Amino acid sequence: MPELPEVETSRRGILPYLKGQTIKKIIVRQPKLRWPIDKTIEQAQGQVILDVKRRAKYLLLQLTNNWIVIHLGMSGSLRILVNQQEVAKHDHVDLVLSNGVILRYTDPRRFGCWLWTDSIDNVSQLKHLGPEPLSEAFSAEYLLAKAKNRQVPIKSWIMDNHIVVGVGNIYASESLFMAKINPNRKVSSLKLNEFVRLVTAIKYVLTKSIEQGGTTLKDFLQSDGKPGYFAQKLQVYGRAGEPCLICQNEIKAQKIGQRNTFYCESCQKLDSE
């Protein structure tokens, strides 16, 4: 599943080809995505793409009068085609632009979406989302205020989109390891200094991943449309039974909220501060 860094990498990859271009034609071959593509999306034709933004894992194409909101779902990808290429089975949408470029959306499992709206405030999927992890609004003070009386494990809480968007399962394990916080700790037991470490770690891990995705933009413009993803070296995720890179203790695997979680019991003590 594309994670926030991959979506941000996609945004940066397509932006220079889309910004300022007029949409000559939109071709919808398969409207049955997670939510059906509205027929009125044809009104995109003739409109200029003013900007390509991102909120959580949604890409927001800001047009002259409307917005197109794209989610890649489980298996979606976007490609920039500079030459006409044969249409394959799962190529559901093309945006044909005035510069000759085609933005092609491919999604074998069709859990993604293309929403059409005249106001971004009307998009229910974007309501009630927590702050962006790389924004100033996502801070230790913010988390401390939200954490009051919360008894859930910190690992599950930090993956909740209402608290903060974009902290996927792998990033949660990696960030908690870097912050030396046990993933089973109850949210309300965490102190401000621990939230400072956690926020710093989350921002670091996501920023690194975006930077490394950027190095594969060249491939992204070619065949498979998948930018580099988790190219960074994982410290704990997937390393059960292997030695901790800091203390050599065995990395432990455990399900927390049905999700695989990896940590070092020695570096991430249950009673630590």
Interface residues toward Zn ion, by CB under 5 A: 244, 246-247, 249, 264, 266-267
Instruction: Considering the complex, state which of residue 72 and residue 236 has its C-beta at the smaller distance from Zn ion.
Output: 236
Query: Of 34, 55, 110, 259, which one is the catalytic site residue?
Result: 259
**CB 268, min distance to Zn ion, A:** 7
Question: Which residues lie below 8 Å from residue 218, measured CB to CB, with a gap of 6+?
Answer: none
Is position 57 annotated as part of the catalytic site?
yes
Report the distance separating Cα 7 and Cα 209, nearest Å.
11
**CB 219, min distance to Zn ion, A:** 34
Is position 133 annotated as part of the catalytic site?
no
**CB 267, min distance to Zn ion, A:** 3
**CB 244, min distance to Zn ion, A:** 3
How far out from the chain centre does Cα 240 lie? 25
Report the distance separating Cα 37 and Cα 271, nearest Å.
50
**CB 95, min distance to Zn ion, A:** 48
What DSSP line would sit under 53-113, residue for residue? EEETTEEEEEESS-EEEEE-TTT-EEEEESS--PPPTTEEEEEEETTS-EEEEE-SS---E
User: Residue type for 163, please?
Assistant: I
Retrieve residue 89's tokens. Answer: 């089975």
Instruction: Considering the complex, state which of residue 42 and residue 242 has its C-beta at the smaller distance from Zn ion.
Output: 242
Instruction: Considering the complex, state which of residue 27 and residue 246 has its C-beta at the smaller distance from Zn ion.
Output: 246
Query: Of 11, 57, 79, 226, which one is the catalytic site residue?
Result: 57
Instruction: Considering the complex, state which of residue 64 and residue 266 has its C-beta at the smaller distance from Zn ion.
Output: 266
Rg (CA), the chain: 20
**CB 235, min distance to Zn ion, A:** 9
Instruction: Considering the complex, state which of residue 104 and residue 180 has its C-beta at the smaller distance from Zn ion.
Output: 180
Per-residue CA distances from 270 to 169, 177, 190, 213 (Å): 20, 12, 11, 34
Instruction: Considering the complex, state which of residue 210 and residue 264 has its C-beta at the smaller distance from Zn ion.
Output: 264
Continuous segment of H or E residues that includes residue 203? helix 192-214
Query: Of 3, 6, 174, 194, which one is the catalytic site residue?
Result: 3
Question: Which residues lie below 8 Å from residue 182, measured CB to CB, with a gap of 6+?
Answer: 154, 176, 263, 265, 268, 269, 270, 272
Answer yes or no: are the C-beta atoms of 273 and 181 closer than 8 Å.
no
Catalytic residues: 2-3, 57, 259
